[in-house]
Structure 1
């Protein structure tokens, strides 16, 4: 969302007092990481368009220098979007002007095991420490899951949970006759995610290697998980102009009939226990039935059409069952999508605004 868009809508609703929220996120002019889109940008757009809040991306430097024209009820900082050297000046400026400062996170960035993992992956310790300081001194912390709220509450008692949802503006597209895939002899499976899911992906190695050795008609395609092919998995590359989240979603929808099934493995680690079920939501909006790890955010979704697997044997059996009864896929996909559409889509911004301000 651009500042000009915010200003234009603000002029219409300025006659009544609505909350004024500024946010800080990586990226500008609608080009942001996927997590920022899901957690902040799409909700901000919804609030702005519905006239429930005036929301604008904050120029941190200008705010610290007291050169921002507008005052705000709250400033929301998503993850580590504030440069480390500017965290303390931002905290000081917000406190001085009596503006509510809110931290927004969707991963465990505090526990000892999480910190060790992040640093081992090359995360800047200084940036991490500054982000932790912001979380501690924020007037409110907004998180994506209850387990994550439990971690954050050890350093900040003012925590609110706003579960992830998908924006129907991005994810809803009716199928046409052109979309219907031609019958194929091989079951094609999708696994999408960032390179940080390498450990999770390893849960699929043994079951897919077994299936390949048996010459089962199944293939695993990964989107974004790995930079190389392996005998048990192949990449399906994202075009260079489709990496921004809205364009990426459109690209997935263009290709949804390429796949028959989706998988969401999650290694049983303390870090993963605090993750959200976003993959299940996105897969369901693609119309794909899903097999996921019986762990963390996916546990409990069996009633919503999700097939759960814990051990390599479970994964193998689940995939074998799909091969044996492919007609069951349509029913599972319908159940999952019905749940997401009724319970987990962005229908209003009220809960988000209340979590920030109340």
Structure 2
């Protein structure tokens, strides 16, 4: 079969929700269509030869029109989303008023109702769609691309702690006292450096900050780290987030520390890291920085776990959802053809 995807360009998550799944399906023998970008929108005409299409996150009028055009041609549409728009943190660049956020969620639910199938990243998010009256989505988590994400370690000074943190994580850093914990650790350990992408922790010394990071720069950046962190406050928004960050860390041979809530609840040393309770970040950071043997053990466990966390491992689920959407679209077209003029 032939599968395609329409998604908003510039979103790193589109790799996990559209590009990597299609590439995995191509490895299973299907044809795929990833159209060129035209002014921030992926050219929809290329989708008209597909059997089914993933429509990731788009919910504006243009996307609704496209959904109708695809279905009129007997093409199945799988609507996919990875966030609860109603609870977007204020620090997020797409933050809007509560009224606008509620409207955005309503539009997303409407797209889910119109689609032939719906997918979501977590069970928590799927449940929220069902509670809002949409068909409960099939849960397919964010997973690593096929092949190795393994980094080639880069020589660097001292011991480097890194965090890939979207701008919305500013509230997590503030709530959990992450800048203060790292600053105290640096005061105690003159060899500790910190790098953060996205959120600016505003540390005074041995600190590097990058506002943004291209997806292809992810692995090279982490290659200069010795430890990675994933702090997360226990909020309504964070409860539906994906655990892809610690999967990226583990695949990149990095031991990690994360919060014991939302997507990270239930993870731990078997996945290459440790969970840190609120208020315990300084103690946890100090313990792992001082324990080289533990870090090596976590790296080994994380690599083993990451090998099982690839998109190829769930390609059959994407295949079933897309094939089912195509079959429903074809049945609808055949039913229309049988209706007397």
Normalised-by-shorter TM-score class = 0.7 to 0.9
Farther off after superposition, 148-157 or 88-97: 88-97
Match of 1:145 among 122, 125, 130: 122
Give the number of equivalent residue pairs. 313
Aligned to 1:210: 184
Using the alignment, how far apart are the partners of 2:320 and 2:285 within structure 1? Answer: 42
- Partner in structure 2 of residue 251 of structure 1: 220
Deviation at 1:167, TM superposition (A): 1.2
Q: What's the TM-score, normalizing by structure 1?
A: 0.76
- Report the CA distance between 1:267 and its aligned residue: 1.0
Q: CA RMSD in A?
A: 3.2
Deviation at 1:266, TM superposition (A): 0.6
Tell me the distance in 1 between the aligned counterparts of 2:192 and 2:309.
Answer: 31
Structure 1 residue runs of 5 or longer lacking an equivalent are 1-18
Matched residue, 1:327: 293
Q: 2:232 aligned to 262, 266, 272, which one?
A: 266
Give the one of 17, 30, 38 matched to 1:39: 17
Alpha-carbon distance in structure 1 between the residues aligned to 2:217 and 2:297: 26
Residues 1:217 and 1:61: Cα distance change in structure 2 (over 3 Å): closer
Over 3 Å counting, the alpha-carbon distance change for 1:69 and 1:328 in structure 2 is: closer
| Closer/same/farther in 2, CA of residues 327 and 117 from structure 1, 3 Å limit | closer
- Structure with the bigger RCO (C-alpha within 8 Å, sep 6+) is 2
Corresponding position: 1:188 with 2:188: no
Q: In structure 1, what is the Cα distance between the partners aligned to 2:5 and 2:125?
A: 21
Aligned counterpart in structure 2 of residue 345 of structure 1, from 310, 328, 331: 310
TM-score (norm 2): 0.79
CA separation of 1:99/1:188 partners in 2, compared to 1, >3 Å: closer, same or farther?
Answer: same
Residue 230 (structure 2) pairs with residue 237 (structure 1): no
From the superposition, tell whether residues 216 and 268 of structure 1 become closer, same or farther in structure 2 (CA, over 3 Å). Answer: farther
1:135–1:116 distance in 2 versus 1, CA, 3 Å: farther
1:278-317 correspondence runs (5 A): 278-302=244-268, 303-312=270-279, 314-317=280-283
Pick the aligned partner of 2:66 from 80, 90, 96: 90
Q: Does the 8 Å contact 2:80/2:119 carry over to 1?
A: yes
1:156–1:233 CA distance, 2 compared to 1 (3 A) = farther
Task: Give the Cα separation in 1 of the matches to 2:240 and 2:218.
Answer: 24
CA 1:101/1:120 → structure 2, altered by over 3 Å: closer, same or farther? closer
* Counterpart-to-counterpart distance in 1, 2:146 and 2:245: 15
Note closer, same or farther for the CA distance 1:199–1:233 as it changes in structure 2 (3 Å cut). farther
Equivalents in 2 of 1:249, 1:118: separation in Å? Answer: 20
How much has 1:22 moved relative to structure 2?
2.5
Counterpart CA distance in 1 for 2:206 and 2:236 is 27
Q: Which residue of 1 aligns with 2:338?
A: none
Q: CA deviation at 1:116?
A: 8.5
Distance 2:290 2:82 in 1: 38
Identify unmatched segments of 5+ residues in structure 2.
325-341
CA distance in 1, matches of 2:80, 2:54: 7
Greater CA deviation, 50-59 or 150-159?
50-59
